[in-house]
Structure 1
């Protein structure tokens, strides 16, 4: 189930963590359809462990191993090496640099952005195609994903806004105070548009856009998506070359759908929300901060939610951003005002049109709707016509229709997209 090089890493972890005698249990770390770019295996180390005071206890250590697919066609088609290289860079270079900068500025764990898993092993060998990422499995500590097919609850979404703001604030402050140090991170190009949209999803995305067009109820909304369908690749390119990207650019998470947030509760009853952890950094890159907001808000919530809370979300985000920038020693009024945020939400709204047909389709899809990804990639390698997402049943199609119609309604009502 695990390659030998990963097993060796687990044994090294056991030794470094003080296990003197232990057994290893393995099980699947994710469900079908939850992870497209990697294989997740949950590992439990059970045995005796020496404490710092020399006392030996029976303990368990819960790990999550993330490796590229073993199927070569799937590795190639989904550009596993690109995705894993980026995530390993984030865990070994960028996130540690962000933590160090915040520590130097005196921020504690409550005020700082530290909401990512502890990583035990982060290794890559591009020549052999071996990538190893072993992190703490957070689920035994009452962390869970929000169900992808349900609109997120308000308290959870506000926590997402506050945490994304803290993450973005580090970029703003570091770029302001340490531009030479931050320059390396600005080289992180967008792989989602440049690699996955233009290659991996080049046949899938047009079909999803067409499905959305068919289900839109208002003629003006149909026309908006029809025009977008004609030149969506060119419009996607412009999203990341605009001069505003450099002026207000930050390191974004890049894949802000609900499955990439782990919410922690005080206990198994899930009545009280405690904290959040951001996972899956494979698409992180330098871009406008609103890329994360447009992605998250317009694929993870619905029209009814936004009608009540949209302005609250944006103000919560900007308040948290400003507070954190200020704590880091810079002036938020000079770096990113609320007017700048609203301007960018309008300017980059095409990103919501680009993502929604894909992410909302994945969000509403049932496990049976998602193809075996190994077989799908093999068909693609042979240039055979095949769908990654099967035909939705009536209930799933109706939910997709509801979410897409609500999204177009909001983009028009907010003045982000104009009816032509």
Structure 2
């Protein structure tokens, strides 16, 4: 870390010079994400200089060692995020400018001030959105209707940017898509190692009685396909949509501007070309509770497609030519069990108590990702099971 610290100080000095902060002082404060971030050390940085407003920065420093990166089947999160900020985000901003996309219709993302891309010492320095009056969303809270609606609209705008990118430069889009591809075969090889542990913990989390019986029956009938469903969401698709990949509440920040809720999108470590329902369903399961889904789940699925169509119109793209409603309905039917799968595979880690999150050290094994569910997880998980029973799917 000492070596990385020196690189960070050098990078901050470079940023200060680029921003004309001469004779500056630098203050740094390490912060805890309280379990919301497991791959990076997080720091708040303030650069000060005479006759200049304080420059407030947010810094992410890589924590994952070589062993963890080798045993984890997903691409290195820092490689993906650096590619997004240095390549894709620039492309997206040019497209928005070309089409005169106004601030309210754009995708709010943090500004990149600088980066260091040496393997095992990656650093990303961004604007501090907290200093811009944005607030973090608590990962253990659930979202209300206004928030979910605004977040789905933001998601649709983000997806529309990639469709506009493909529409205007398909060759460059394809290169970007290939750079972000996931080797699903690696995930498939690990599935048998993880499935037993996942099933055991999920059944233990289900309430005794009908919920546990329903879940056991699901595993008996469809358990072997659980990872097929999950991994299909990571497979490259031909829909030309780059998904966020980790669209959950604690990767969003919000504030009120002119009386309207504004949401900013963070953390681009899992961006890839995949089925857009991966973002939609992942968000609805991680952000909402049983009661919300009972009242609004299907309306929110409709809202996504509506918002995507509106976002595409701003780029002069007809949604019927790229993702007609009939195709969307077919995908909803195909992936109707994905919400339950997300609750089984991903939700335990998202809602885990901080002390239950594994240490990513030389002893780390990919099955360590399967953590014991917290009390909050058990409550939320049984809420998902109850919804699936009500929908006649369990």
Task: Assess same fold via TM > 0.5.
Answer: yes
SS, match of residue 38 in structure 2: coil
Correspondence for 1:39 among 22, 41, 46: 41
1:25 aligns with 27
Q: 1:225 aligned to 2:209?
A: no
Correspondence for 2:383 among 406, 411, 415: 406
1:380 aligns with 364
2:199 aligns with 209
Relative to structure 1, is the Cα distance of residues 226 and 403 closer, same or farther in structure 2, using a 3 angstrom cutoff? farther
Summarize deviations over 1:322-381 as a string: whole Å, max 9, x none: 11111101112222233332321221345434432343223332223334x14xx33236
**4+ residue stretches of structure 1 with deviation over 6 A?**
none
CA contact (8 A) 2:233 2:278 kept: no
CA contact (8 A) 2:140 2:351 kept: yes
Summarize deviations over 1:368-410 as a string: whole Å, max 9, x none: 3334x14xx33236x9xx9567656xxx43x323322222343
Report the Cα distance in structure 2 between the residues aligned to 1:190 and 1:226, rounded to whole angstroms: 32
2:55 aligns with 61
Report the Cα distance in structure 2 between the residues aligned to 1:101 and 1:241, rounded to whole angstroms: 26
Report the Cα distance in structure 2 between the residues aligned to 1:237 and 1:139, rounded to whole angstroms: 35
CA contact (8 A) 1:213 1:226 kept: no
1:53 aligns with none
Q: 1:138 aligned to 2:129?
A: yes
Relative to structure 1, is the Cα distance of residues 195 and 255 closer, same or farther in structure 2, using a 3 angstrom cutoff? farther
Relative to structure 1, is the Cα distance of residues 261 and 192 closer, same or farther in structure 2, using a 3 angstrom cutoff? farther
Summarize deviations over 1:247-292 as a string: whole Å, max 9, x none: x34000001121111112459xxxx653111111111100111110
Please list, as runs of the form range in 1=range in 2, the aligned pairs for 1:333-348 lying within 5 A after superposition.
Answer: 333-348=320-335
Report the Cα distance in structure 1 between the residues aligned to 2:352 and 2:174, rounded to whole angstroms: 40
Q: 1:156 aligned to 2:156?
A: no
Report the Cα distance in structure 1 between the residues aligned to 2:287 and 2:192, rounded to whole angstroms: 23
SS, match of residue 347 in structure 2: helix
Deviation at 1:318, TM superposition (A): 2.1
Report the Cα distance in structure 1 between the residues aligned to 2:185 and 2:56, rounded to whole angstroms: 36
Please list, as runs of the form range in 1=range in 2, the aligned pairs for 1:175-214 lying within 5 A after superposition.
Answer: 175-191=166-182, 206-214=196-204
Report the Cα distance in structure 1 between the residues aligned to 2:62 and 2:221, rounded to whole angstroms: 37
Correspondence for 2:16 among 14, 17, 29: 14
CA contact (8 A) 1:205 1:358 kept: no
CA contact (8 A) 1:249 1:289 kept: no
Relative to structure 1, is the Cα distance of residues 274 and 202 closer, same or farther in structure 2, using a 3 angstrom cutoff? farther
SS, match of residue 355 in structure 1: helix
Instruction: Tell me the TM-score normalized by structure 2.
Output: 0.87
Instruction: Tell me the TM-score normalized by structure 1.
Output: 0.82
1:86 aligns with 80
CA contact (8 A) 1:369 1:389 kept: no
Aligned length: 388
SS, match of residue 261 in structure 2: strand
2:309 aligns with 322
Deviation at 1:228, TM superposition (A): 4.2
Relative to structure 1, is the Cα distance of residues 6 and 81 closer, same or farther in structure 2, using a 3 angstrom cutoff? farther
Summarize deviations over 1:158-178 as a string: whole Å, max 9, x none: 111000101111222333444
Between 1:203-212 and 1:325-334, the stretch displaced more is 203-212
Unaligned runs of 5+ in 2: none
Report the Cα distance in structure 2 between the residues aligned to 1:102 and 1:281, rounded to whole angstroms: 19
Please list, as runs of the form range in 1=range in 2, the aligned pairs for 1:349-360 lying within 5 A after superposition.
Answer: 349-360=336-347
Relative to structure 1, is the Cα distance of residues 314 and 230 closer, same or farther in structure 2, using a 3 angstrom cutoff? closer
Relative to structure 1, is the Cα distance of residues 63 and 227 closer, same or farther in structure 2, using a 3 angstrom cutoff? farther
Relative to structure 1, is the Cα distance of residues 80 and 353 closer, same or farther in structure 2, using a 3 angstrom cutoff? closer
Summarize deviations over 1:287-329 as a string: whole Å, max 9, x none: 1111100111112211101112223322332222111111101
SS, match of residue 304 in structure 1: helix
Task: Say what the alpha-carbon RMSD is for the aligned residues.
Answer: 3.0
SS, match of residue 101 in structure 2: coil
